[in-house]
């Protein structure tokens, strides 16, 4: 019997638990460790930020659902991973031994890297449902007394889609309230151009997103390094393509949401051979750590280098289907190890993304996500908004049922050439 431990119960951790249980042998034990006892659908956080959704709409307690699939659950944060002991030290003082460890923690939000950034400072966040709820409370106050908005992502951020979504969703909500004319909006991003997305662009993402910004009267500043935030004022240095300073900006705001950079969580940060300098987990092509070969990792906590050098540092995003491909490969590779075989499966890192604009939206398919690509397209339309609403319901239901890839999903995506494994 082997004990397979998964740290994290989010977009990566929950599918990982279900898929690992399916692939593990009958007598193997699968345990999930998480500092939260609920799952929440992170892609819906922009809707929570304007009260189009509540926490109850996108979150549910996980213990019973895991138990139904014969998966143990420990509700305690991981304090420190000890790879030399094959052990996870918990916040409550316990230690959990493992034969195989899968790290699916997601990131640590590095608000501290920009003075005044974040919910404890002067800007809002939609990275976590707690932050989105707090944003929603302030959103109502803002709408009662509207003024300028600044929205975007700071240097070293690696997930730009939600910043665009939130900008467009706020625009739509303000129009519905008939106060859009009272709200100047500025989009501030570390990207070298609108639609870069940390991916070097996808299809005509630059043209389509620039057009969407113009249509909605949202100004933008690219190659932007956010240096500090004070109450009602953001300080931004705009760079030229050669890295020289182009302009210094002092942007007034009455409401601001800026996505932070990500780092690895404290439980793994600084473990030599396990993480890179930012604390992300180092992996080989089989999702396995090169030094500690009984440790695997999936999701946002995986170390992926930027796709290209940019004047202001940008990171590469890890999107939902890309994470699911990591999950599938990891489960099969651990099963191979349990059977005494070398791992063979490699994740495709294919990406499908649905970005809601409030009443319309944009979708992209990048096969694979990291260029050069075999398929590369970006489209806009009202169908995307409807598709994202449907996907929210579908994914939450899938996590409650414990089904990682229903047959119809597998065959429909397969027919489109979108696969999880190489």
Catalytic center residues: 159, 353
The two beta strands, 72-75 and 59-61, are unpaired
Backbone angles phi, psi at 403, to 5 degrees: -105, 115
Phi/psi zone of residue 341: left (φ > 0), alpha (ψ -120 to 50 degrees), beta? beta
Question: How many angstroms separate the Cα of 195 from the Cα of each of 159, 201, 221, 255?
Answer: 12, 6, 12, 23
Question: How many angstroms separate the Cα of 119 from the Cα of each of 112, 173, 224, 272, 330?
Answer: 11, 22, 21, 32, 35
Residue 358: is the preceding peptide bond cis (ω within 30°)?
A: no
375 CB neighbour count, 10 Å cutoff: 16
Interacting residues of 31 by C-beta distance below 8 A, sequence separation 6+: 3, 4, 5, 6, 71, 72, 73, 74, 96
Query: Distance between CA atoms of 19 and 2, rounded to whole angstroms?
Result: 16
Q: Are 238 and 265 in contact (CB under 8 A)?
A: no
277 CB neighbour count, 10 Å cutoff: 10
Query: Distance between CA atoms of 287 and 303, rounded to whole angstroms?
Result: 10
- In terms of C-beta density within 10 A (0-12 exposed, 13-18 middle, 19 or more buried), how is residue 234 classed? buried
Query: Distance between CA atoms of 99 and 292, rounded to whole angstroms?
Result: 11
Tell me the three state secondary structure of residue 113. helix
Query: Distance between CA atoms of 65 and 17, rounded to whole angstroms?
Result: 11
Helices and strands in the chain: count of H runs, count of E runs? 10, 22
Element (H, E) at 170: helix 161-176
- 189's tokens: 């991003």
């Amino acid at each position: 019997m082997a004990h397979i431990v998964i740290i994290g119960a989010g977009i990566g951790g929950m599918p990982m638990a279900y898929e690992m249980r399916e692939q593990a042998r009958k007598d193997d034990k699968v345990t999930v460790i998480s500092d939260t006892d609920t799952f929440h659908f992170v892609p819906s956080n922009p809707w929570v930020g304007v009260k189009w959704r509540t926490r109850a709409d996108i979150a549910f307690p996980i213990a019973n659902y895991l138990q139904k699939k014969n998966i143990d659950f420990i509700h305690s944060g991981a304090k420190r991973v000890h790879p030399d002991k094959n052990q996870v030290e918990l916040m409550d003082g316990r230690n959990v031994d493992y034969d195989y460890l899968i790290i699916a923690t997601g990131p640590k939000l590095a608000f501290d890297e920009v003075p005044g950034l974040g919910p404890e400072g002067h800007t809002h966040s939609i990275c976590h449902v707690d932050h989105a709820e707090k944003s929603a409370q302030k959103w109502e106050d803002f709408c009662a007394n509207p003024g300028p908005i600044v929205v975007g992502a700071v240097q070293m951020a690696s997930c730009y889609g939600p910043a665009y979504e939130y900008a467009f969703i706020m625009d739509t909500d303000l129009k519905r309230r008939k106060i859009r004319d009272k709200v100047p909006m500025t989009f501030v991003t570390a990207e070298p151009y609108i639609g870069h997305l940390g991916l070097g662009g996808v299809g005509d993402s630059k043209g389509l997103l620039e057009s969407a910004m113009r249509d909605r009267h949202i100004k933008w500043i690219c190659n932007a390094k956010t240096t500090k935030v004070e109450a009602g004022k953001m300080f931004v240095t705009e760079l030229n393509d050669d890295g020289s300073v182009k302009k210094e900006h002092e942007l007034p705001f009455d409401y601001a949401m800026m996505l932070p950079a990500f780092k690895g969580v404290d439980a793994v940060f600084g473990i030599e051979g396990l993480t890179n300098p930012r604390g992300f987990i180092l992996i080989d092509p089989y999702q396995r750590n090169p030094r500690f070969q009984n440790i695997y990792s999936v999701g946002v906590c995986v170390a992926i280098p930027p796709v290209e050098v940019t004047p202001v540092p940008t990171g590469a995003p890890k999107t939902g289907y890309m994470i699911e491909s990591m999950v599938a490969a990891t489960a099969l590779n651990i099963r191979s190890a349990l059977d005494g075989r070398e791992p063979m499966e490699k994740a495709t890192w294919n990406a499908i993304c649905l970005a809601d604009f409030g009443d319309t939206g944009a979708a992209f398919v990048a096969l694979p996500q990291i260029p050069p690509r075999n398929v590369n397209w970006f489209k806009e339309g009202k169908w995307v908004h409807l598709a994202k609403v449907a996907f929210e319901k579908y994914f939450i239901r899938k996590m409650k049922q414990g089904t990682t890839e229903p047959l119809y999903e597998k065959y429909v995506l397969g027919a489109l050439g979108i696969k999880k494994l190489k």
